């Protein structure tokens, strides 16, 4: 099992547009991925409702977990995505 810790870079947190971008990316990787706040339970990273329900805000740390072939690459990609300000990028 592989894990990564990422800090939410989007100024609005994992809400609306940034969550949609992240969920789409998580849906496209070849392994199931979960995401959790540091003190919360893991939820499927490919579920928009579950990801938004985390309530992750700008600067919060989240833990990504995956298992299987390609898990490390998938988690690296998703962690890097979360560290960016996705709302600002999508607006440009």
For position 80, which CATH number holds?
3.30.1340.10
Q: Is residue 90 part of a domain?
A: no
Q: Is residue 16 part of a domain?
A: yes
Q: Is residue 7 part of a domain?
A: yes
What does the pLDDT read at residue 9?
Answer: 97
Q: Is residue 76 part of a domain?
A: yes
Q: Is residue 48 part of a domain?
A: yes
Number of structural domains found in the chain? 1
What share of the chain in percent tops pLDDT 90?
A: 92
What does the pLDDT read at residue 73?
Answer: 97
Q: Is residue 81 part of a domain?
A: yes
Q: Is residue 91 part of a domain?
A: no
What does the pLDDT read at residue 49?
Answer: 97
Look up 15 and say whether it is catalytic.
yes
Q: Of the listed 10, 15, 19, 34, which one is catalytic?
A: 15
CA distance 84 to 81: 6
What does the pLDDT read at residue 90?
Answer: 64
Residue numbers of the domain that contains 67: 2-85
CA distance 60 to 9: 8
User: Mean of the per-residue pLDDT values for the chain?
Assistant: 95
CA distance 24 to 51: 11
Residue 89 tokens, joined: 């990028």
pLDDT of residue 92 exceeding 80: no
Helix, strand, coil percentages (3-state) for the chain, rounded to 5, are 40, 20, 40
pLDDT of residue 71 exceeding 70: yes
Q: Is residue 37 part of a domain?
A: yes
Q: How confident is the model at residue 88 (pLDDT cuts 50, 70, 90)?
A: confident
Positive or negative, the CA dihedral 31, 28, 14, 49 is negative
Mean pLDDT of 33-58: 97
Neighbours of 59 (CB within 10 A): 11
């Amino acid at each position: 099992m592989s894990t990564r810790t990422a800090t939410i870079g989007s100024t609005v947190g994992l809400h609306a547009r940034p969550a949609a971008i992240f969920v789409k990316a998580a849906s496209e990787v070849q392994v199931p991925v979960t995401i959790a706040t540091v003190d919360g339970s893991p939820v499927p990273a490919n579920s928009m409702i579950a990801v938004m329900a985390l309530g992750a805000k700008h600067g919060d740390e989240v833990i990504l977990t995956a298992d299987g072939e390609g898990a490390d690459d998938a988690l690296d990609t998703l962690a890097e995505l979360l560290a960016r300000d996705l709302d600002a990028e999508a607006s440009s």
